[in-house]
Structure 1
Amino acid sequence: MQWIECRVHTTHAAHELIAQLFITHGANGTVLEDSRGKDFTPEPWTDIIGKPKTEHLPTDGVVVKAYFPDDGTLEATLSAVKKDLVQLEVTTNQPVAQTEILLTTVHEEDWAEAWKAYYKPVQVSETMSIVPTWESYEKRREDEHVITMDPGMAFGTGTHETTLLCLQALEHIVNDGDTVIDVGTGSGILSIAAAKLGAKAVHAVDLDPLAVQVAKENSEANNVSERITIEQRDLLSESSNEQKADIVVANLLAHLVIALAPDIHRHLKVGGKLVVSGIIKQKEQEVIDVLKQENFQIDDVLEQKDWVAIRCRLTEVGGE
């Protein structure tokens, strides 16, 4: 199958907005190439085996790459995207695109080979490592949890800061026998991690049918599919899962976390734990204020670069 790669060079302040804009217009996935990756400083416990290449990263800002199927509708889609980019500049009162949208035809098989050049096994927390499906790997400690991933056409390596923060949070809160809801599961990596950490049942939801397909494939590849249910649903509001969970994890953008907050009570036990990520530092306090209004007690705030994840718990209804 052929895909069209749409590439925009933008700023750190605007890259998430542009990525979301592409998704809104039907992109089957986005990839962010961040210039700050050249200066990556690992955490003390991090050990990158065969350090990923950084030559492809821009020297400044972020390159956002979105992928659309080459099915004849791209011209109309790009017209709508360009219109929204102009509106985005008006709304934010700042330039968001440093270049025009550049187009490249990508064959699915070429994509797979390209990833292999710089996607290597990486330790992402004290006890978890992510390993691409084509790499041979041996555990370096008895309690190590190895998550096997294939990025596919629509998803990255699972090592973006927002995902890492969620993985690190889950490592400290998932107990044997817990039930977990993963909102906006994407590749399924957080669901897989929860299962490997001891959760007895994980319910994952995502709006994107491709995400559902990829998450199912990844859960099967990690031999945890019997504990993970994956559905194409609208976040929590349309979830068919009526049982309240011990943990809810949501790696979303800040405005989605804020919109989601009032609905979480219906799906989380009193005393249950919530992890939200995908939040830029500037939005941290706004998200915390909303969570407190919804009777969540803030337990911890994790930070990496410009991103934060918030770990909290649901208190008795009516107050903290």
Structure 2
Amino acid sequence: MQWIECRVHTTHAAHELIAQLFITHGANGTVLEDSRGKDFTPEPWTDIIGKPKTEHLPTDGVVVKAYFPDDGTLEATLSAVKKDLVQLEATTNQPVAQTEILLTTVHEEDWAEAWKAYYKPVQVSETMSIVPTWESYEKRREDEHVITMDPGMAFGTGTHETTLLCLQALEHIVNDGDTVIDVGTGSGILSIAAAKLGAKAVHAVDLDPLAVQVAKENSEANNVSERITIEQRDLLSESSNEQKADIVVANLLAHLVIALAPDIHRHLKVDGKLVVSGIIKQKEQEVIDVLKQETFKLMTC
């Protein structure tokens, strides 16, 4: 299969807005290449182990790359994106209306392998690390939970901030014997973490058949597949699992969290906990308001 890479060079102030715009218009994935990464050296206390290559980074600003299937619909999609860029400039005063979008054809097999050069072990916390299957790694302490991952084409390497936040939240709230539902499991990383943290049963759902396959492979590689059930389903509404869980985790976009909100209580115990992430700052209050309407209370870990 071939993909079309849409490449935009923009400012630090506008890059998240443009990336979100691409996702809204159906991009299967985005990559951010930030010029500030050239001078970045991780401190000993951060969650980064090792330093990735930086030769590909721009000298200024941020390069946003979005990937669309080469299925004949791109022309209409880009037309809609350009119209929204004009509207975005009008509402945010960011100079994006005349942004140039460069197109490149990418073969799936090239894309699937090239990113591995930039995926290094990630220290989530003092007691949890994520390690690519092709990297060697030695435990820093005896009680460390090491999650080995090969996300393939599925979302969830553990390096994204929203994934890290979910992992850190799960560390605080998962108790031995808990049941967990992972909505939009992607690579299965949150389900695997929950199982390693003591959950007795995890039910993971994702609409993408490729993600389901990858999640199953990763759960087997981490020796937790007997506690994780993975289904190709449309979020919670079509799930065959009617058992109420102690924890529901959903690392999704804001509009998906909002759509899920009315249905979550049907799958969550009365004293259960909901973990949501993947929400941009501009959507934070909207998500909070919707969850409060559904009688959820905010908590801090």
8 A Cα contact 1:182 1:205, kept in partner: yes
8 A Cα contact 1:67 1:154, kept in partner: no
Q: How far off is 1:235 after superposition?
A: 2.2
8 A Cα contact 1:30 1:154, kept in partner: no
Q: How far off is 1:86 after superposition?
A: 4.2
Q: How far off is 1:270 after superposition?
A: 0.7
For residues 154 and 140 of structure 2, what CA distance do their matches in structure 1 show? Answer: 30
The change in CA–CA distance for 1:180 and 1:62 in structure 2 (over 3 A counts) is: farther
Q: How far off is 1:227 after superposition?
A: 2.0
Give the equivalent residue in structure 1 for 2:299.
none
Find the residue that maps to 1:204 and give its secondary structure.
Answer: strand
Partner deviation per Cα, 1:149-183 (whole Å, 9 max, x = no partner): 22424536321111111110001111121111112
8 A Cα contact 2:153 2:210, kept in partner: no
Find the residue that maps to 1:42 and give its secondary structure.
Answer: coil
Query: Would you say how many aligned residue pairs link Structure 1 and Structure 2?
Result: 296
Q: How far off is 1:212 after superposition?
A: 2.5
Of the structure 1 ranges 60-69 and 36-45, higher mean CA displacement relative to structure 2 is found in 36-45
Q: How far off is 1:265 after superposition?
A: 0.9
The change in CA–CA distance for 1:162 and 1:128 in structure 2 (over 3 A counts) is: same
For residues 283 and 39 of structure 2, what CA distance do their matches in structure 1 show? Answer: 24
Partner deviation per Cα, 1:106-133 (whole Å, 9 max, x = no partner): 2334334422322111211221111112
Find the residue that maps to 1:134 and give its secondary structure.
Answer: coil
For residues 36 and 57 of structure 1, what CA distance do their matches in structure 2 show? Answer: 8
The change in CA–CA distance for 1:37 and 1:213 in structure 2 (over 3 A counts) is: farther
Consecutive unaligned residues in structure 2, runs of 5 or more: 297-301
8 A Cα contact 1:52 1:118, kept in partner: yes
8 A Cα contact 2:157 2:187, kept in partner: no
8 A Cα contact 1:121 1:132, kept in partner: yes
For residues 170 and 41 of structure 2, what CA distance do their matches in structure 1 show? Answer: 22
Of the structure 1 ranges 169-178 and 5-14, higher mean CA displacement relative to structure 2 is found in 5-14
Partner deviation per Cα, 1:84-123 (whole Å, 9 max, x = no partner): 4445555666544663221122233433442232211121
8 A Cα contact 1:8 1:98, kept in partner: no
For residues 162 and 184 of structure 2, what CA distance do their matches in structure 1 show? Answer: 13
Give the equivalent residue in structure 2 for 1:75.
75
Runs of 4+ aligned structure 1 residues displaced above 6 Å come to none
TM-score w.r.t. structure 1 length?
0.78
The change in CA–CA distance for 1:43 and 1:234 in structure 2 (over 3 A counts) is: farther
The change in CA–CA distance for 1:75 and 1:98 in structure 2 (over 3 A counts) is: closer
The change in CA–CA distance for 1:122 and 1:263 in structure 2 (over 3 A counts) is: same
8 A Cα contact 2:162 2:277, kept in partner: yes
The change in CA–CA distance for 1:120 and 1:85 in structure 2 (over 3 A counts) is: same
Q: Percent identity of the aligned residues?
A: 99
8 A Cα contact 1:122 1:130, kept in partner: yes
TM-score w.r.t. structure 2 length?
0.83
For residues 136 and 241 of structure 2, what CA distance do their matches in structure 1 show? Answer: 37
For residues 74 and 213 of structure 1, what CA distance do their matches in structure 2 show? Answer: 27
Give the equivalent residue in structure 1 for 2:33.
33
For residues 70 and 292 of structure 1, what CA distance do their matches in structure 2 show? Answer: 41
8 A Cα contact 1:45 1:125, kept in partner: no
Of the structure 1 ranges 36-45 and 61-70, higher mean CA displacement relative to structure 2 is found in 36-45
For residues 86 and 272 of structure 1, what CA distance do their matches in structure 2 show? Answer: 44
8 A Cα contact 1:9 1:97, kept in partner: no
8 A Cα contact 1:30 1:66, kept in partner: yes
The change in CA–CA distance for 1:233 and 1:82 in structure 2 (over 3 A counts) is: farther
Q: How far off is 1:35 after superposition?
A: 4.7
Q: How far off is 1:18 after superposition?
A: 4.0
Of the structure 1 ranges 5-14 and 122-131, higher mean CA displacement relative to structure 2 is found in 5-14
Give the equivalent residue in structure 2 for 1:199.
199
Q: How far off is 1:269 after superposition?
A: 0.2
The change in CA–CA distance for 1:165 and 1:47 in structure 2 (over 3 A counts) is: closer
Consecutive unaligned residues in structure 1, runs of 5 or more: 297-320
Of the structure 1 ranges 253-262 and 155-164, higher mean CA displacement relative to structure 2 is found in 253-262
The change in CA–CA distance for 1:33 and 1:191 in structure 2 (over 3 A counts) is: farther
Quote the RMSD (CA, aligned, Å): 3.0
Of the structure 1 ranges 2-11 and 31-40, higher mean CA displacement relative to structure 2 is found in 31-40
The change in CA–CA distance for 1:257 and 1:35 in structure 2 (over 3 A counts) is: farther
The change in CA–CA distance for 1:34 and 1:225 in structure 2 (over 3 A counts) is: farther
